[in-house]
Amino acid sequence: MEIFHSPEEINEWSLRERQAGQLIGFTPTMGALHDGHASLMMTSQADNTRNVASIFVNPLQFNNSQDLDSYPRTLESDIDIAREAGIDALYIPSVSAMYPDGFSTVITAGSLTDTMEGAHRPGHFDGVATVVVKLLNAVNPHTAYFGEKDFQQLAVIRRVVADLNISCRIIGIPTIRHSDGLAMSSRNIRLTSKHRQQSPIIYSALQKCASQSLISSIDSEALKQLFTNEIQTLSDGRVEYIEIVKSDTLEPHDVFKESCTICVAVWFGDVRLIDNISHHSNND
């Protein structure tokens, strides 16, 4: 596995591989890698002949400096995980390589960012859109892989790539979960022992909402109350938001039905966790 630190280096590598007829798959990450990231990388390996991953904790997408400072950084183990997952080239740029002196361009991702994460983390998706475009330009992959746990982020990235005519397929990969149902996240390691035991309630409450919607006519407000009650009654969690949206447009929907998704954010202490559950149509 080769390791690169500048956009020029990884771009030169990618150009050589493309000229040799290779298909390049790309998994962007912020490090603190876990089995969810490894799943993205292994899917890339199955689909492509050359595979790239990046590790970059992007300061532009953090609206809270304490959150940026406390984000886990485990570079040595990350390199081992990437190598074991079959990555051919690992791109680890510095902040100065990504945002050199004089950098001033930021991509605004539009109305898809008005709700949920965008509403509660001002500027977050501008940072996401900007870094993803810079990474895609540097790596120049045929396909890039993102987890569906970050459901709104995936929709935003698809929109940005389409709007800017970036020649790269964006593939969403189903959320990888621990055996107790908690969605894998780099932030999980910051949970206290008590909150780690309680945090699977997020997904079980989502499942309860989804099941309830299948057996009775229940509107979005009642579903929101059901989810909130489950969290508050059975854990120390604090619900930041719960929204029922159309899976493709993220527009709010009054019921949870085919092609809709329930998206949530829940705090356990100072750790913020997000998750979702989708109702797929029969044609999906």
Q: What is the pLDDT of residue 281?
A: 57
The rounded percent of the chain whose pLDDT value lies above 70 is 99
- From 34, 37, 142, 195, the catalytic residue: 37
> What is the per-residue pLDDT across 26-67, written as a single tens digit (0 to 9) for each?
999 999 999 999 999 999 999 999 999 999 999 999 988 888
124 is catalytic: no
**């997952």: which residue's tokens?**
85
Mean pLDDT of 142-161: 98
> What is the per-residue pLDDT across 91-124, written as a single tens digit (0 to 9) for each?
999 999 999 999 999 999 899 999 999 999 999 9
Superfamily of domain 186-278: Pantoate-beta-alanine ligase, C-terminal domain (3.30.1300.10)
Residue ranges per domain, the chain? 2-173, 186-278
How many degrees, rounded to 5, is the angle at CA 223 between CA 222 and CA 224?
Answer: 90
Number of C-beta neighbours around residue 59 at 10 A: 14
> What is the per-residue pLDDT across 169-196, written as a single tens digit (0 to 9) for each?
999 999 999 999 999 999 999 999 999 9
Residue 216 pLDDT grade (very low, low, confident, very high; cuts 50, 70, 90): confident
User: Which CATH number applies to 2-173?
Assistant: 3.40.50.620
What gap in Å lies between CA 163 and CA 12, rounded to an integer?
A: 26
> What is the per-residue pLDDT across 221-280, written as a single tens digit (0 to 9) for each?
999 999 999 999 999 999 999 999 999 999 999 999 889 999 999 999 999 999 999 997
Enumerate residues 6+ apart whose C-beta is below 8 A from 275: 149, 175, 183, 202, 203, 206, 263, 264, 266
